[in-house]
């Protein structure tokens, strides 16, 4: 049995934070999304593939800031490029700096669906302008959605403060279910503006899903059949599955794509990219503007991150590590006899527990992630992880051993 971590400073800071901010910390970073009382709440620093909390505990971090850290924390080449831009030219202006054109040219070079791009700051920005653009282009209203697409009114799961009329034209379908999608499209055939789907399925607290043979191709055909704009939400899969995203990896090209997260190794930048004729509605029919969308410090970070991804064949390395890790963890789970599963290989590792009528899986999950964090492995019980470039095989082997030991602790439950 591993010892409980000393987290006194984290807990004290959280009590103070609740006085200062609603809920203390925001959304998915609140303690109930981990194992309350076992996980830290405040980090102090990070370097490479590891992070240190405010109590001085160090962890191998597989959450990677929920996905943006594709290289590693404090990646010097990226940070140095940003610092140089800030010191020599600045990054926030009334007009656009040339670096924006350079980044969009790079996106057009790499992403199959990209003929033009609109730069924004977050994934929610990108998915929301994608919906607005699809509606303006088609003159239709209804949207079919599959996956997590952010916090805005049309898609957020928690409906507090949102009138029903703001999402009444959004229809949810299940990943890998072409029949269910077509039923929605057929029932609303005269008013389906778009289909938005994560090309890799990652439902909350459930195993990561890869597309079944023909699934993405089938979604593409249905979009064409019903005159709907096909949008791939690649906020998580972009610049991770391949330089051109999951659409490059799986060979299916949408009309519009959202990208962000791994594109800039932690700097806040995202984009809606897509076919010229659709994107051009933003020239006159669709309004998109923000004080900070054109800021170039994050665009510089994106260009440097992409340069490193290409130069050092980072995604090949991550895929190889991820495949090795998956094989080892699957072996450990099989040998343990615990009703658990590993999914998300090679990019989004996740250990989940098979649901049962008694609710034992909840106890297994809670104890497993308790044992794992006590062994200084940072993963989230309800959200898949990521592998970054700076995770070494030594880190991965340590984690396999920690998973084996943590599973062994479950046999007494």
Q: Report how far apart, in Å, the C-alpha atoms of 42 and of each of 14, 29, 39, 51, 72 are.
A: 8, 9, 9, 11, 19
The CA-based diameter of the chain, rounded to the nearest angstrom, is: 64
Rg of the chain (C-alpha set): 22
DSSP 8-class letter at 203: -
44 and 185 assigned to the same domain: no
Q: What's the chain's average pLDDT?
A: 97
Does position 1 have pLDDT exceeding 80, yes or no? Answer: no
Beta strands in 92-206 (DSSP E): 116-120, 142-146, 170-172, 192-197
Q: What is the pLDDT of residues 74-95, one digit of tens each?
A: 999 999 999 999 999 999 999 9
- CA angle, residues 237, 240, 245, in degrees to nearest 5: 60
Q: Which of 311, 341, 369 is the last residue of a domain?
A: 311
Q: Which helix (H) or strand (E) holds 307?
A: helix 297-311
Print burial letters for 134-161: b (CB count within 10 Å at least 16), e (below 16): bbbbbebebbbbbbbbbebebbbeeeee
Domain boundary among 277, 296, 311: 311
Give the number of other CB atoms < 10 A from CB of residue 7: 21
Domain with 223 in it: what CATH number?
3.40.640.10
34 in any annotated domain: yes
In a domain, 330, yes or no: yes
H-state helical runs in 312-359: 314-336
Neighbours of 117 (CB within 10 A): 21
| pLDDT for 330 beyond 80 | yes
Q: Say if residue 400's pLDDT is above 80.
A: yes
Which of 311, 342, 366 is the C-terminal boundary of a domain? 311
Tell me which of 86 and 411 has the higher pLDDT: 86
Note whether residue 1 is domain-resident: no
| Residues 207, 297 share a domain | yes
CATH number of the domain bearing residue 31? 3.90.1150.10
Residue 3 lies in a domain: no
pTM: 0.97
Q: State which residues form the domain around 353.
A: 8-73+313-412
Which pairs with CB-CB distance under 8 Å and at least 24 residues apart come from 94-101? 96/294, 97/294, 97/296, 99/296, 99/299, 99/300, 99/303, 100/294, 100/296, 100/299
The verdict on residue 148 lying in a domain is yes
Residue 151 lies in a domain: yes
Residue 190 pLDDT exceeds 80? yes
**In a shared domain, residues 283 and 375:** no
Structure tokens at 407: 């599973």
**Nearest-angstrom CA–CA distance, 371 and 360:** 17
In this structure, the answer to whether residues 158 and 295 fall within a common structural domain is yes
Residue 99 lies in a domain: yes
In terms of domains, do 360 and 240 share one?
A: no
Query: Is 43 in the same domain as 119?
Result: no
Per-residue pLDDT, 413 = 79
In this predicted structure, what is the pLDDT of residue 204? 87
pLDDT cut 90: percent of the chain above it:
98
Q: Are 375 and 406 in contact (CB under 8 A)?
A: yes
Query: Averaged over 210-216, what is the pLDDT?
Result: 98
- 133 and 247 share one domain: yes
Claim to verify: residue 283 and residue 395 sit in the same structural domain: no
Nearest CA among 396, 333, 382, 28 for reference residue 203: 382
Residues 235 and 318 reside in one and the same domain:
no
Residue 117 has pLDDT above 90, yes or no: yes
Query: How many Cβ atoms from other residues are within 10 Å of residue 238's Cβ?
Result: 33
Binned at pLDDT 50, 70 and 90, residue 233 comes out as very high
Is 27 or 52 the better-scoring residue by pLDDT? 52
Predicted local confidence at residue 412, as pLDDT: 83
Please, how many CA atoms are within 13 Å of residue 54, restricted to the half-sphere of its CB?
Answer: 13
The answer to whether residue 138 sits within a structural domain is: yes
Residues 299 and 330 both lie in one domain: no
Say how far apart CA 211 and CA 254 lie, in whole Å.
15
266: left (phi over 0), alpha (psi -120 to 50) or beta: left
pLDDT score of 320 more than 80: yes
Q: Is the pLDDT of residue 355 over 80?
A: yes
Number of domains in the chain: 2
Q: Is the pLDDT of residue 240 over 90?
A: yes
Instruction: Specify the length of the chain in residues.
Output: 413
Residues 29 and 91 in one domain: no
Confidence (pLDDT) at 208: 98
Question: Can you tell me the mean pLDDT for 323-343?
Answer: 98
Same domain, 43 and 179: no
* Average pLDDT of the residues in 156-163: 95
């Amino acid at each position: 049995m591993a010892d409980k971590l000393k987290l006194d400073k984290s807990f004290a800071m959280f009590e103070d934070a609740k006085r200062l901010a609603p809920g203390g910390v925001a959304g998915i970073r609140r303690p109930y999304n981990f194992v309350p009382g076992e996980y830290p709440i405040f980090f102090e620093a990070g370097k490479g593939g590891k992070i240190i909390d405010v109590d001085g505990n160090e962890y191998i971090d597989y959450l990677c800031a929920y996905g943006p850290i594709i290289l590693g924390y404090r990646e010097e080449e990226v940070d140095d490029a940003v610092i140089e831009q800030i010191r020599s030219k600045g990054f926030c202006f009334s007009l656009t700096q040339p670096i924006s054109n350079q980044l969009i040219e790079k996106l057009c070079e790499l992403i199959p669906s990209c003929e033009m791009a609109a730069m924004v700051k977050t994934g929610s920005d990108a998915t929301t302008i994608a919906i607005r653009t699809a509606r303006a282009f088609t003159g239709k209203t209804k949207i079919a959605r599959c996956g997590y697409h952010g916090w805005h009114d049309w898609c957020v799961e928690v409906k507090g403060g949102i009138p029903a009329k703001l999402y009444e034209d959004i229809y949810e379908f299940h990943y890998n279910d072409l029949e269910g999608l077509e039923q929605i499209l057929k029932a609303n055939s005269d008013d389906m503006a778009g289909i938005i789907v994560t090309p890799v399925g990652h439902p909350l607290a459930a195993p990561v899903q890869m597309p079944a043979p023909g699934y993405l191709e089938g979604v593409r055909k249905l979009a064409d059949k019903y005159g709907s704009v096909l949008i791939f939400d690649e906020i998580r899969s972009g610049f991770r599955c391949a330089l051109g995203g999951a659409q490059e990896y799986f060979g299916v090209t949408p009309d519009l794509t959202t990208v962000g997260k791994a594109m800039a190794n932690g700097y806040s930048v995202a984009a809606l990219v897509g076919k010229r004729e659709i994107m051009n509605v933003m020239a006159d029919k669709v309004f998109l503007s923000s004080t900070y969308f054109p800021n170039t410090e994050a665009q510089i970070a994106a260009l440097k991150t992409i340069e490193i991804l290409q130069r050092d064949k980072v995604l090949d390395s991550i895929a190889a590590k991820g495949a090795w890790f998956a094989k080892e963890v699957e072996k450990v789970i099989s040998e343990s006899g615990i009703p658990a599963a590993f999914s998300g290989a090679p990019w989004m590792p996740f250990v989940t527990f098979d649901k049962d009528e008694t609710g034992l899986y909840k106890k297994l999950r809670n104890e497993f992630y308790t044992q794992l964090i006590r062994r200084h492995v940072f993963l989230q019980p309800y959200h898949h992880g990521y592998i970054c470039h700076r995770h070494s095989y030594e880190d991965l082997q340590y984690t396999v051993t920690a998973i084996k030991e943590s599973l062994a602790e479950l046999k007494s439950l």
